[in-house]
Structure 1
Amino acid sequence: MNSPDIAFARSVRDERETALELDSVSRVFDGRAVLKDVSLKVKRGEFVSMLGASGAGKTTLLRILAGLDQADSGRVRVAGARSVVFQEPRLVPAKRVWENVVIGHDRLNAAKPSALAALDEVGLTRNADGWPKTLSGGEAQRVALARALVREPKLLLLDEPFAALDALTRIRMYELVARLWRAHTPAVVLVTHDIDEAILLSDRIVVLSQGEISADVVVDFPRPRSRSDEAAIALRTRLLAELGVTQDAPQKAA
């Protein structure tokens, strides 16, 4: 296959309007097409969730957007300033919490004020000089969010960041992510298996099926949203159908 055309948004106008654009992107592993001619455009400030069964290509697509993998064909255009938050916080145990926020910075002490400001945004100023092992799962994931946002990304990629958290902590994280998104206005692409999570947070929901986009749904009812809203219930029913899940089957199958 031809090598993909990888480009980064350079002009001020482009970075303001478009955070990512994919044109006929494909990825093949061992002769199997994991992504097939995927085209997608996300504007600056949009919150887009990706749903799909395991093996649908969600994580592969996210890795391509993050620069951790490369498409086999197609055009990939991504804003240069990107950050990723994974399912695991991936903190360095030997570094204090604030050091983890600005890890990789050439002058660590000079970056400390930025780290403290980011930790304040996620409510963890008191933990700044602590060690990662002292944090709860939710706190560690908040540090990972602070680390991502301290770089002021134009594109924030979230790879199932709430999956390992308990239900109450997940709800608090939804509220935190929504607040940080409004404050920093990056484009957000969230990979998730949770339909309600996608409905509560997103402007658009993209459904991947066998490596192709089978639906791209605008979520146009007002925030804050509730799972019991009539619009949310109707959208959940539609998304379950897109995912091939019958109404009497457990929703977690999505």
Structure 2
Amino acid sequence: MNSPDIERFNALQQRESALELDRVSRVFSGRAVLKDVSLTIKRGQFVSMLGASGAGKTTLLRILAGLDRADAGRVRVAGARSVVFQEPRLVPAKRVWENVVIGHDRLSAAKPSALAALDEVGLSRHTEGWPKTLSGGEAQRVALARALVREPKLLLLDEPFASLDALTRIRMYELVARLWRAHTPAVVLVTHDIDEAILLSDRIVVLSQGEISADVTVDFPRPRSRGDEQAIALRARLLAELGVDDDALQAASRNAA
């Protein structure tokens, strides 16, 4: 059996993959959260992971981030990777620019990189500010700057838009798409939002009870709209894969409104 430890791709090797999973499993208290998951993601590809709560999405992302270990199987990832979580996780006692390069041996030397990253996410005027002065969307943009300043080959996003209001979320979609095109990392986005996945992704992977139940290519042109015929058809397909009735969901939304 292969070692469950993460293997880093040799930076000198010309590989098309940013990550490769081979029969990865993870068990908690006798329950298999991941069951023989195999998945390859190419460099520069944007992949979303959908699934109900408990399907194994976050566990898989934590393994890719090196925050957890698989119990079996092989995990191979690109050498440079960054993670953006649902919460920005900024340090209140450090200025905004310091949060971008936190952990760097010499902050003063890293400051130009921090300023450039903050300019890229539209926060140049907040560089000397404190995290408590930022809105939720601004704080999450700092977290994105912190992830991208390291020039990752693999960017892991764990529901980074979940706590944002609808308008801010749309703006964050546009920002993430622009940054992805500019930096070209492979992206793995964990989300519960089907529309979010359709708008952003090249592929959508559905996890069900710890296994991949669907792997769908999204190949219609960007920018995309929820009202596009292809988006509507794909949404219905994904809802069916998740065991959700679209008509019942829309009726529930109307009743809630």
- TM-score normalised by the chain length of structure 2: 0.95
Q: Provide the residue aligned with 1:250 in structure 2.
A: 249
> Contact conserved, 1:19 with 1:187, CA < 8 A, in 2?
yes
In the TM superposition, residue 5 of structure 1 has moved relative to its aligned partner by 4.7
Are positions 1:67 and 2:32 aligned together?
no
Matches within 5 A, 1:60-209: 60-209=59-208
Q: Provide the residue aligned with 1:50 in structure 2.
A: 49
> What is the rounded CA distance, in whole Å, between the counterparts of 2:77 and 2:40 in structure 1?
10
Q: Could you give the per-residue CA deviations for residues 94-126 of structure 1, whole angstroms, max 9, x where no partner exists? A: 000000000000000010000000000000010
> Contact conserved, 1:57 with 1:211, CA < 8 A, in 2?
yes
Are positions 1:29 and 2:28 aligned together?
yes
In the TM superposition, residue 2 of structure 1 has moved relative to its aligned partner by 7.0
Q: Provide the residue aligned with 1:38 in structure 2.
A: 37
> What is the rounded CA distance, in whole Å, between the counterparts of 2:150 and 2:3 in structure 1?
30
Q: Provide the residue aligned with 1:18 in structure 2.
A: 17
> Contact conserved, 2:3 with 2:74, CA < 8 A, in 1?
no
> What is the rounded CA distance, in whole Å, between the counterparts of 1:131 and 1:20 in structure 2?
36
Q: Provide the residue aligned with 2:8 in structure 1.
A: 8
> Contact conserved, 2:5 with 2:69, CA < 8 A, in 1?
no
In the TM superposition, residue 198 of structure 1 has moved relative to its aligned partner by 0.1
> What is the rounded CA distance, in whole Å, between the counterparts of 1:246 and 1:11 in structure 2?
46
Task: Output the amino acid matched with 2:215.
Answer: D
Q: SS at the partner of 2:246?
A: coil
> What is the rounded CA distance, in whole Å, between the counterparts of 2:3 and 2:118 in structure 1?
40
Q: Could you give the per-residue CA deviations for residues 116-139 of structure 1, whole angstroms, max 9, x where no partner exists? A: 000000000100000000000000
Task: Output the amino acid matched with 2:9.
Answer: A
Task: Output the amino acid matched with 1:161.
Answer: P
Residues matched between the structures, number: 252
Q: SS at the partner of 1:248?
A: helix
In the TM superposition, residue 3 of structure 1 has moved relative to its aligned partner by 4.3
> What is the rounded CA distance, in whole Å, between the counterparts of 2:130 and 2:223 in structure 1?
35
In the TM superposition, residue 160 of structure 1 has moved relative to its aligned partner by 0.1
Q: Which runs of 5+ in 1 are unaligned?
A: none
Q: SS at the partner of 2:139?
A: helix
> Contact conserved, 1:2 with 1:72, CA < 8 A, in 2?
no
Bigger mean CA deviation after superposition, 5-14 or 95-104: 5-14
- TM-score normalised by the chain length of structure 1: 0.97
Q: Could you give the per-residue CA deviations for residues 18-72 of structure 1, whole angstroms, max 9, x where no partner exists? A: 1100000000000000000000000110000000000000000000000000000
> What is the rounded CA distance, in whole Å, between the counterparts of 1:220 and 1:195 in structure 2?
16
Q: SS at the partner of 1:12?
A: coil
In the TM superposition, residue 224 of structure 1 has moved relative to its aligned partner by 0.3
Task: Output the amino acid matched with 2:235.
Answer: R
> Contact conserved, 2:6 with 2:66, CA < 8 A, in 1?
no
> What is the rounded CA distance, in whole Å, between the counterparts of 1:167 and 1:220 in structure 2?
25
Bigger mean CA deviation after superposition, 220-229 or 244-253: 244-253
Task: Output the amino acid matched with 2:183.
Answer: H
In the TM superposition, residue 12 of structure 1 has moved relative to its aligned partner by 3.1
Percent identical among aligned pairs is 88
> What is the rounded CA distance, in whole Å, between the counterparts of 1:106 and 1:249 in structure 2?
54
> Contact conserved, 1:24 with 1:75, CA < 8 A, in 2?
yes
Q: SS at the partner of 1:198?
A: helix
The runs of 4+ residues in structure 1 deviating greater than 2 Å are 11-14, 248-253
Q: SS at the partner of 2:248?
A: coil
> Contact conserved, 1:35 with 1:57, CA < 8 A, in 2?
yes
> Contact conserved, 2:158 with 2:189, CA < 8 A, in 1?
yes
> Contact conserved, 1:48 with 1:205, CA < 8 A, in 2?
yes
> Contact conserved, 2:11 with 2:79, CA < 8 A, in 1?
no
Task: Output the amino acid matched with 1:249.
Answer: A
